[in-house]
Structure 1
Amino acid sequence: MDFGLTDEQRSIVETTRTFVEKELYPHEEEVERTGVLRPELAAEIRRKALAAGLYAANMPEEVGGAGLDTVTWVLYEKELGRASYALQYCGVPRPSNILLAGTEAQREKYLYPTVRGEKIDCLAMTEPGAGSDMRAMRTKATRDDGADGGWRIKGSKHFISHADEADFVILVAATGSDDAGRTQMTIFLIDLDTPGVAVHDGYRNVSHRGYTNSILDFDDVRVGDDAVLGEVGKGFELSGEWLGSTRLQVAASCLGRAERALELSAQHAATREQFGQPIGRFQGIGFKLADMATELQAAELMTLHAAWKVDQGTATDADIAMAKVKATEMLAMVADEAIQIHGGMGLMDELPLERIWRDARIERIWDGTSEIQRHIISRSMLRPLGA
């Protein structure tokens, strides 16, 4: 197996790293201090990301994206992951690839403008009473018996990332039950200025300052049949087909932050002296560095292997689940040890370590908790054995 990067991959990594260090790092202190990513700053970074060819890099070339294979995309996401989440998530948007499942008319209205940076999307799946259990959702879409037909939607979603600045929502709603009594879901594309749609401030959170989440209410919202993405009643399957890559994105982002924390720790251990020698020479510190590096490399190899399997068409849900659970839990360990190596200064906001440590906590929760990932992994092992 060839573990070397191609010239193109090295170029993408270098370009992305340079962009992160030049355009994102300088604004981290402001976002951390204020807890806000100014709209004008976000717009400025988006313009620069477009000019650098980094905007919507997760999309195929035929729709205006970079057309990266999955391995290269993971390397790109790792570099973006080194920076403050709000800056890299909002400043360098990667539109939801589920938009690729749309009709040509839907692509013209939603996908292409989003890839060009003219529109911003948000994805609404999670509800207060239905987190990991999607089939328990209560947001419902029912057929409109009126003359114009279409659908009427009622319900509420929460934890919707940056819905406050989005132009449209990719909404997952219940639209009936199958023969086994399981909820069937359908995905809708809805402009956020549609009558009956309301966007409310979400919750203040410990992780990722500057990142916002919103609550979306749908009060008898009426949309036409042309708002349906994919097939009616196939939303669960469509979500599973297109959205698995977000878990690899989380894993890759964790790799970038862990690498940054490890670099700072190694530098500190090599230059900070106590008792007449660099603290890295003490076994208590040296072994921490060794364990951090080992766990980081293991998580990176697992993530890249899952990405490679996606490109080969052989990836399973368990492959991606293992990458996510390993990378997110590795980041928690590396961030914690980095602070321990730095001592009291590790918790001061002069360094990015306290932010990395604080931000790491959410990664084991969103896009499927660690417990959900372990359920996926163990189920894949037991099902072939009849259990």
Structure 2
Amino acid sequence: MQFGMSEEQAMIVNTTRAFVETELYPHEDEIERSGRMDMDLVRELQGKAMAAGLYAANMPEEIGGAGLDTLTWLLYEKELGRTNYALHWTAVARPSNILLAGTDAQKERYLYPCIKGEKWDCLAMTEPDAGSDLRGMKASARRDGADWLLNGTKHFISHADIADFAICFMATGVENTSRGTKKKITAFFVDKGTPGFSVRDGYRNVSHRGYTNAILEFDDCRLPASAVLGEIDQGFDLANTWLGATRLQVAATCLGRADRALQHALSYAAERQQFGQKIGKYQGISFKLADMALDLKAATLMTWEAGWKFDQGTVTESDMSMAKLKATEMLAFVADEAIQIHGGMGLMEALPLERIWRDARVERIWEGTSEIQRHIISREMLRPLDA
């Protein structure tokens, strides 16, 4: 594993950071105040992201993406992660790579328009009574002749309000396993406007203002057989195959925000004077800076290693869980310490620190809670011992 960036990686990092600082930072305050993204602004920024070659960069080059390897993609995600989540996710969209599992006809209808910026997708898994326990979902799909009828509710569905379609995971039967009866799951494409499918406003969220969530309701929503993504009853394997790297994406964006918070804290410690000298001279502050830098570097190395191993085909579930767990908990620590160093000013909206602090909270919950990540890590440790 090489620890230095290639010329191409450095160029991508510099281009992405310049775009974030020039095009996205200026709009943060307005989105924080309003809690919404103006679609005219989204379209404007979307065009600029495309011109810069940053749009849909996670997609293969042969279908219009940037064709980044996993490690380079994570370097890019770190730079995007420095800014408001709604800004970078909406204006610099990265379509879900599960769309690559579709048929040729499905790619024409869903994948390619997302890459061109003509459509947005959203993933619908979580339910009011089934969060971490995906196989405990109650929303279901049953056959009705050649069609499927979908019923049930999904919630916490990110940016479903602007999405043109949802990729919905529904229970389609049961099976007996060594751990008891489990739901069989199938994934479906559901277009907005399909009869029986409705999207309601979700919950007001303390984290990531402007990045909305929604409630999806299905009431005898009829879909043709062609709406099935992947194999029938194989949705759980489909999700595990295509969505595993999302934990690394979360880790990478956390690195960007933590680095921004640390730089603010470092600058303040070098400039602020109390009792006749710069506060960075006091061990109470300087040791905080050292601990913040130490934690950030550890999380960075774990994330880059997992990304590198992903491309080598040697990454494990534990590798990705460790990166996600460490980076999300590190961000919470760094954001909190950065505010402490700034004192009362750290909580003022004049600085991005209070936003970074608020935004950090959700990272330990979505894409698998910290407890789930610890379960995955310990399970992988114990399994060779038959424990």
Smaller-chain TM-score bracket? over 0.9
Equivalent position amino acid for 1:59 in 2? M
Do 2:328 and 2:364's aligned partners in 1 also have CA atoms closer than 8 Å? yes
Q: Within the alignment, does 1:168 sit opposite 2:168 as a pair? A: no
Please show how residues 207-222 of structure 1 align to structure 2 within 5 Å.
207-222=207-222
Displacement after TM superposition at 1:346 (Å): 0.2
Q: Which residue of 2 aligns with 1:318?
A: 318
Query: In 1, Cα distance between the equivalents of 2:286 and 2:182?
Result: 54
Q: Within the alignment, does 1:159 sit opposite 2:156 as a pair? A: yes
Q: Which residue of 2 aligns with 1:287?
A: 287
RMSD: 0.7
Displacement after TM superposition at 1:89 (Å): 1.1
Query: In 1, Cα distance between the equivalents of 2:219 and 2:55?
Result: 34
Do 2:173 and 2:233's aligned partners in 1 also have CA atoms closer than 8 Å? yes
Q: What secondary structure, in the 3-state scheme, does the structure 1 residue paired with 2:127 have?
A: coil
Please show how residues 197-212 of structure 1 align to structure 2 within 5 Å.
197-212=197-212
Q: TM-score, normalised by structure 2?
A: 0.98
Q: Which residue of 2 aligns with 1:370?
A: 370
Equivalent position amino acid for 1:352 in 2? P
Query: In 2, Cα distance between the equivalents of 1:63 and 1:175?
Result: 32
Cα displacement string for residues 231-264 of structure 1 (whole angstroms, at most 9, x for unaligned residues): 0000000000100111111000000000000001
Query: In 1, Cα distance between the equivalents of 2:37 and 2:368?
Result: 26
Q: Within the alignment, does 1:122 sit opposite 2:122 as a pair? A: yes
Query: In 1, Cα distance between the equivalents of 2:272 and 2:304?
Result: 34
Displacement after TM superposition at 1:2 (Å): 2.1
Please show how residues 108-119 of structure 1 align to structure 2 within 5 Å.
108-119=108-119
Query: In 2, Cα distance between the equivalents of 1:244 and 1:43?
Result: 30
Q: Within the alignment, does 1:82 sit opposite 2:82 as a pair? A: yes
Cα displacement string for residues 62-91 of structure 1 (whole angstroms, at most 9, x for unaligned residues): 221100000000000000000011111111
Q: What secondary structure, in the 3-state scheme, does the structure 2 residue paired with 1:163 have?
A: coil
Q: What secondary structure, in the 3-state scheme, does the structure 2 residue paired with 1:182 have?
A: strand
Please show how residues 9-158 of structure 1 align to structure 2 within 5 Å.
9-145=9-145, 149-158=146-155
Displacement after TM superposition at 1:177 (Å): 1.4
Equivalent position amino acid for 1:341 in 2? I
Residue identity (%): 67
Query: In 1, Cα distance between the equivalents of 2:317 and 2:45?
Result: 34
Please show how residues 216-295 of structure 1 align to structure 2 within 5 Å.
216-295=216-295
Query: In 1, Cα distance between the equivalents of 2:279 and 2:338?
Result: 13
Number of residues of Structure 1 aligned to a counterpart in Structure 2: 384
Q: What secondary structure, in the 3-state scheme, does the structure 1 residue paired with 2:324 have?
A: helix
Cα displacement string for residues 178-212 of structure 1 (whole angstroms, at most 9, x for unaligned residues): 24332110001111111111000000011111111
Cα displacement string for residues 282-320 of structure 1 (whole angstroms, at most 9, x for unaligned residues): 000000000000000000000000000100001111110
* Poorly superposed stretches of 4+, deviation over 6 Å: none
Equivalent position amino acid for 2:155 in 1? H
Equivalent position amino acid for 1:273 in 2? Q
Q: What secondary structure, in the 3-state scheme, does the structure 2 residue paired with 1:194 have?
A: coil
Q: Within the alignment, does 1:307 sit opposite 2:307 as a pair? A: yes
Q: Within the alignment, does 1:177 sit opposite 2:178 as a pair? A: no
Any stretches of 5+ residues in structure 2 without a counterpart? none
Displacement after TM superposition at 1:97 (Å): 0.2
Displacement after TM superposition at 1:171 (Å): 0.5
Give the stretch that moved more between structures: 323-332 or 84-93.
Answer: 84-93
Query: In 2, Cα distance between the equivalents of 1:165 and 1:182?
Result: 33
Query: In 2, Cα distance between the equivalents of 1:190 and 1:215?
Result: 14
Displacement after TM superposition at 1:323 (Å): 0.2
Q: TM-score, normalised by structure 1?
A: 0.98
Any stretches of 5+ residues in structure 1 without a counterpart? none
Query: In 2, Cα distance between the equivalents of 1:36 and 1:96?
Result: 22
Query: In 2, Cα distance between the equivalents of 1:176 and 1:36?
Result: 39
Q: What secondary structure, in the 3-state scheme, does the structure 1 residue paired with 2:195 have?
A: coil
Equivalent position amino acid for 2:300 in 1? E
Cα displacement string for residues 347-386 of structure 1 (whole angstroms, at most 9, x for unaligned residues): 0000000000011000000010000000000000111110
